[in-house]
Structure 1
Amino acid sequence: MRFRFCWDVDCPDWLLAEIATLSKLSSVKLRLVTSTLAKSCCGAALPYEVVTKLANDAKLDESEAQAAVAAIRWVLESAAGAAVAPPVLDSELQQLGLPKEHASAITRVYSEHQAQLLIQLKNTSLQVGRNVSWSCQVVGVNVGENLKPVVQLSLQEGTPSCPSTTVNMTPAQLYALIHELTEARQVMESIH
């Protein structure tokens, strides 16, 4: 089943698994955590105490609490990026099995922060026309007694004084990335 907040594709399996974890929280706690995360998505620092308090209040272990935080953050950012209307998000979260009160709690916070989330996403994503430089090179990495090829991609946005991002991957991972980016481009072009 396709969901608008998932960019009109199936919901990721990891998110489906976290729906049960989110359901363990009270709707009030979920709204408070979602509000803190929405502010964090908009640039505010996320206090680590939020994750700890969430874990303690809902009797979750720390990894479950971190996964719940990641799920809420992903829902907020994906919904904003896909320009999903709050009633649609509410309906889709319920279709995934989130209780009505829980879906309403997330949707209410999303509705309050939707404009700021979209602005933050626009400001922090790569855009056409920005001064972006990138490089790609094949480097060798010793694996046991063998030298294995690794593709090193570097991306730098802005001036040379800005930090660059470097990603190392195997040739197979690079081919998979190219394939997935090609599919993403086709989906984006089909939307417009």
Structure 2
Amino acid sequence: MKYHFLGNMECPSWLLEEICTNFSNMTVLKFKQLCTRAAHLILHDNDDTVLSNTSEEIHTVNHSNLVLIGDWFLLKPAGYDCPFEDLEKEIVQLGLPPEHGKQLRKVYEVYKNELMEKVKNSVHREPHATVLDFSATSVTFETDSQVYDVSMNGNMMSQFKNDIENSLSKLKDFAGTLPTSPQ
């Protein structure tokens, strides 16, 4: 089964196991605090105020649980613009108790816009390159005031051109699936 919060992909079996064996056994309060702490750590790195405002019980939590909740239950859904309701419904479908799902939803609702911005700003962007000259066996381009000359044999250049055309085609297809942002 495919899940919206995972980008319409199937849930990895290891994540399902973590949900069933690890998070389902936590108290609701501990799970909510864990989700809140994960959101703060994602958005504010090591902010000592969030660490001091959590109960003693939460300080004993494994760091990998924070990363897992932060990356898989908060950042991924935000990156796919998953609605609050879908996240809650799907996470409960995967075995998290309904009350835990409600707490995750509440934390996600509070931080969704900031998480979406974090995802958007974390996308790696290469500097713009300008092609200065090209031939059947070389390309000369400039980026960040540096000039690069790339020479290849004819077969390599042909393969390079095909790879770029395929990449551009896939990027255009992908861009067509992205939601438009309100201006």
Using the size of structure 1 for normalisation, the TM-score is 0.60
1:43-58 equivalences in 2 (<5 Å): 43-45=44-46, 53-54=57-58, 56=60
User: Does structure 1 retain, via aligned residues, the 8 Å contact 2:16–2:94?
Assistant: yes
What 5-or-longer segments of structure 1 have no aligned partner?
Answer: 57-61, 134-157, 161-181
88 and 99 in structure 1: CA distance in 2 versus 1, 3 angstrom threshold = same
The residue identity in structure 1 corresponding to 2:31 is L
Structure-1 residue corresponding to 2:127? 131
Structure-2 residue corresponding to 1:16? 16
Structure-1 residue corresponding to 2:3? 3
Structure-2 residue corresponding to 1:73? 70
Structure-2 residue corresponding to 1:86? 84
1:1-192 equivalences in 2 (<5 Å): 1-19=1-19, 20-45=21-46, 53-54=57-58, 56=60, 65-74=62-71, 75-127=73-125, 130-131=126-127, 188=174, 191-192=177-178
Distance 1:90 1:17 in 2: 18
The Cα shift of 1:123 comes to 1.4
The Cα shift of 1:90 comes to 0.2
What 5-or-longer segments of structure 2 have no aligned partner?
Answer: 130-143, 147-166, 179-183
Distance 1:132 1:36 in 2: 37
7 and 159 in structure 1: CA distance in 2 versus 1, 3 angstrom threshold = farther
User: Does structure 1 retain, via aligned residues, the 8 Å contact 2:38–2:66?
Assistant: yes
Larger Rg: 2
Aligned-residue Cα RMSD (Å) equals 3.4
The residue identity in structure 2 corresponding to 1:119 is E
Aligned length: 137
The Cα shift of 1:38 comes to 0.6
Distance 2:64 2:173 in 1: 28
User: Does structure 2 retain, via aligned residues, the 8 Å contact 1:16–1:96?
Assistant: yes
User: Does structure 2 retain, via aligned residues, the 8 Å contact 1:18–1:67?
Assistant: no
The residue identity in structure 2 corresponding to 1:73 is G
Distance 1:16 1:32 in 2: 21
The Cα shift of 1:68 comes to 2.1
Identity among equivalent pairs (%): 22
User: Does structure 2 retain, via aligned residues, the 8 Å contact 1:38–1:76?
Assistant: yes
The residue identity in structure 2 corresponding to 1:32 is Q
1:144-185 Cα deviation digits (max 9, x unpaired): xxxxxxxxxxxxxx999xxxxxxxxxxxxxxxxxxxxx8x96
The Cα shift of 1:187 comes to 8.3
User: Does structure 2 retain, via aligned residues, the 8 Å contact 1:31–1:105?
Assistant: yes
Q: Secondary structure at the match of 1:42?
A: helix
